[in-house]
Chain A
């Protein structure tokens, strides 16, 4: 608390002008009380967060001691024999999220461009709201749709198609139940498209109109204009949006748990069942047999937490960096 008096500080350029409204000591105690009260609540919230992290680590500690060495290197997860190698879950989480991003990023860019550039203002707003509504749909509903509609479609339609066209790649070989990495990645992709595309829309809006006009004036086709004047300068924004979407995909539990197949294994086929860190916690936590099992699941939670933290921080860094660049350039 820098200033004890009732002062506002205004920043204009590089100067800091203190505005003192001459209340002096009159309301000092009341305002201090208010500020302390608010500060206390803030401390409470921060405490809650640290409690979360601390408790999680404390619960996971026995597992770190016992299985810490194999957890990150071995995919053998056997609760009955008390062997907890978690690599299969890390694999499952990463693969589904990466495939989801690979599908969702180009799609989101296309949707964002479509809404911004092609549609009229009214239609653009309408479709934009529609896409954002998708972001509000609870993940259990996506899981339901995935289980009853998407998984059979993947088994009956998509798998034969991919096998006939790309079947020489090991990624697309092997038997397909419908549920598995492919279905989970598709659902994730659908779920993160709204997130990525709404950020992309904001980023695309910041491109100054004269850039686009200049490109057109130089003879570019509509598509080239979009590529040069809109996509290229927004590149870091797009990356930031994608990374944010990745962060969301990593933590997704229910929709994935319902269509991933719950088989902790590392396989080279996209049609194979797998398990993710979130799905194993959802499936096994309520009935973990032993303390070590619970602890191992908490270790999975810690790993998940750290991974999402890193990815989200990265996204924020990229977005922040992008904003700084725009400000520096004196952009809009």
Chain B
């Protein structure tokens, strides 16, 4: 190689390396995979409204979002599970309080992929607990048959798919199970990372959906948007009022409608809510905003959130999420100002 050409190449490389592309403000966020479909839609729509701000959201799971937030390696986090008191005090110790901003409502659905079973499998809390505890190993188990009399159940292995990473979806799901299954509460409990008795671990809602979609005989829990987008069968879950409910946007809204009080810090749960027409495994999802001193980034994030809580809510239904109740959205916008 000629030395002359080498010099040129090195020069080009160095200029490439050190060229600073001047862009406007970039916000980095990370966290829940639960709301990722709608967040990503919001981000691309918001770019049209305000081209000065670019938002980079990485869907790594609620556990990851909280961790990166506490490490201050991102500007905002996202989690379906509200932060624990321990973590909140940690962030206070870092010097700034955290605000929970509920953004949207979604649902955790029980998805399955069995050739012989159509879209109308009925399950109740007790049975779901048993399945995810590993006590049901075949699809034609009597416990399943009991709730679904008259349905032809195949003699196939029942394969459980769950999350391998720290997940708000898991937290929501396990909180529900702890409420409806004493056995689950004692054996496993609730939280973002669980000691799973069984099953394959996949990464993110994306991973669980992919796994269920690709393998016959699997059952897993994912957010509604993912299941519907991929045409996966979703089970009808028995709610507190005794009805077997299909997860629909209306059923989710009804779950939140029952909530009258919003709590001081907006940390709320609507798992196994009272009332008719309610889908029992519904949940809020939060953006975690560190309230540091007012600077450009905080300002930009707040503006984005206000947009999401007003304009963004209109896009919810299309993507199979439920918009926040109006009163709640107004309360949040007030608090943000």
Contacts and interface: CB of A to CB of B under 8 A. Distances in A.
Indicate whether A and B are direct neighbours in the complex (CB within 8 Å): yes
A79 B201 CA distance: 15
B63 A287 contact: yes
Given A79-B193, A152-B214, A289-B192, A273 B67 contact: no
B331 interface: no
Interface string A247-265: 0000000000000011100
B195 A286 contact: no
Interface stretch (B95-103, B159-167, B242-250): B159-167
A286 B199 contact: no
B195 A273 contact: no
A81 B193 CA distance: 9
Contacts of A78: 193-195
A284 B164 CA distance: 8
Nearest to B174: A80
Nearest to A275: B201
A177 B193 contact: no
Interface of B is mostly: loop
A289 B63 contact: yes
A72 interface: no
B277 interface: no
A186 interface: no
A283 interface: yes
Nearest to B191: A80
Contact of B166 (A79, A81, A179): A79
B215 A177 contact: yes
B57 to A, nearest CB: 14
A286 B67 contact: yes
Instruction: Please indicate which of the listed interface residues A76, A179, A275, A289 has the most CB atoms of chain B within 10 Å of its own CB.
Output: A289
A287 B202 contact: no
B39 interface: no
Interface in B157-198: 157, 159, 164-166, 189, 191-196, 198
Nearest to B218: A177
Interface in A57-94: 76-81
A184 B191 CA distance: 29
Interface in A169-200: 175, 177-179
A283 B67 contact: no
A139 to B, nearest CB: 17
Interface string A82-117: 000000000000000000000000000000000000
Given A287-B166, A288-B67, A80 B201 contact: no
16 contacts: A78-B194, A79-B166, A79-B193, A80-B192, A261-B200, A263-B196, A263-B200, A263-B201, A275-B201, A286-B64, A287-B60, A287-B61, A287-B67, A289-B63, A289-B66, A289-B192
The 8 residue pairs across chains A and B that have the minimum distance between CB atoms: A287-B64, A262-B201, A262-B164, A287-B63, A175-B157, A78-B195, A80-B191, A79-B193
Interface of B: 60-61, 63-68, 137, 157, 159, 164-166, 189, 191-196, 198-203, 214-215, 218
